[in-house]
């Protein structure tokens, strides 16, 4: 039986890099186009989980609509993820402009917040498995110079909460409790476990190499 095709439902280069760290290279990238608006009374944890599942389902739907296309008759295992930065019950998305990024940094400055990473894997039979991982992150109190220098670097663009822990923000974050890779964009321990349950085991694959 042919090995399944691994499909990443995200165009994020960070998630591709993280998967590469554990020896996984998706066969296809099928970015999901969904409405990421938060629902009324939806918690940040619930939002991260729902969006991860919705992205996986959307990407799988596109692939199933072309059964003789890119899958070449093979089953698809679809991986999707979503990251939500939360301060209290407030969810911080990707800043729309530098002014919003500045507001986010002011809100994060000198306090701890939570990063929720939703992960969903749909196997070849259509069974969905999903998890939410939470990491606590603490920012130092930012000076005006630190804030403006960070904003000028542009790392806030396209990042949930307006920062990237793997970049200059590493010099602003003295505290983290939980999965570091979750803050970057994909909790690797949980992702590897979900993939293994769906037929893609990085450790068995490494042992067969």
Which of 77, 175, 195 lies closest to 131, judged by CA? 195
DSSP string, 45-95: HHHHHHHHHHHHHHHHHHHHT-TTSTTTT--EEEEEEEEEEEETTEEE---
| CA dist., res. 180 & res. 177, Å (int) | 8
Rounded Cα gap, residues 79 and 69, in angstroms: 19
Q: How far is CA 150 from CA 46, 75, 112, 141, 160, in A?
A: 30, 44, 18, 13, 15
Q: According to the model, what pLDDT value does residue 189 have?
A: 97
- The radius of gyration of the chain's CA atoms, rounded to the nearest angstrom, is 18
**Average pLDDT value for residue range 130-135:** 98
Number of structural domains (the chain) is: 1
Our CA angle for 36, 38, 44, nearest 5°, is 105
pLDDT tens for each residue of 104-129: 999 999 999 999 999 999 999 999 99
Report the pLDDT value the prediction gives residue 187, as an integer from 0 to 100.
98
Domain holding 166, by residue range, is: 5-208
Residue 75: predicted pLDDT: 86
Enter the pTM of the model.
Answer: 0.92
Q: What is the pLDDT confidence band of residue 65, given thresholds at 50, 70 and 90?
A: confident
**What tens digit of pLDDT does each residue of 67-102 get?**
666 777 788 999 999 999 999 989 999 999 999 999
* pLDDT tens, position by position, 25-42: 999 999 888 988 899 889
Percent of the chain exceeding pLDDT 90 equals 76
On average, the pLDDT of the chain sits at 92
- At residue 208, the pLDDT reads 47
Catalytic residue list? 82
What CATH number is attached to the domain comprising 56? 3.90.950.10
């Amino acid at each position: 039986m042919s090995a399944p095709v691994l499909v990443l439902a995200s165009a994020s280069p960070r998630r591709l890099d993280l998967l590469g760290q554990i020896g996984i290279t998706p066969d296809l990238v099928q970015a999901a186009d969904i409405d990421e608006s938060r629902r009324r009374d939806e918690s940040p944890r619930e939002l991260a989980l729902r969006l991860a599942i919705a992205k996986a389902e959307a990407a799988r739907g596109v692939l199933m609509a072309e059964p003789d296309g890119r899958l070449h008759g093979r089953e698809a295992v679809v991986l999707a993820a979503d990251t939500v930065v939360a301060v209290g019950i407030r969810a911080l998305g990707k800043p729309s402009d530098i002014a919003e990024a500045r507001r986010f940094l002011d809100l994060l400055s000198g306090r701890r917040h939570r990063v929720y990473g939703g992960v969903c894997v749909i196997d070849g039979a259509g069974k969905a498995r999903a998890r939410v991982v939470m990491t606590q992150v603490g920012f130092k109190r930012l000076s005006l110079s630190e804030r403006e220098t960070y904003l000028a670097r542009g790392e806030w663009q396209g990042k949930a909460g307006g920062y990237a822990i793997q970049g200059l923000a590493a010099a602003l974050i003295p505290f983290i409790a939980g999965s570091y890779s979750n803050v970057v964009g994909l909790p690797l321990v949980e992702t590897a476990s979900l993939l293994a349950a769906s037929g893609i085991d990085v450790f068995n694959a490494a042992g067969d190499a």
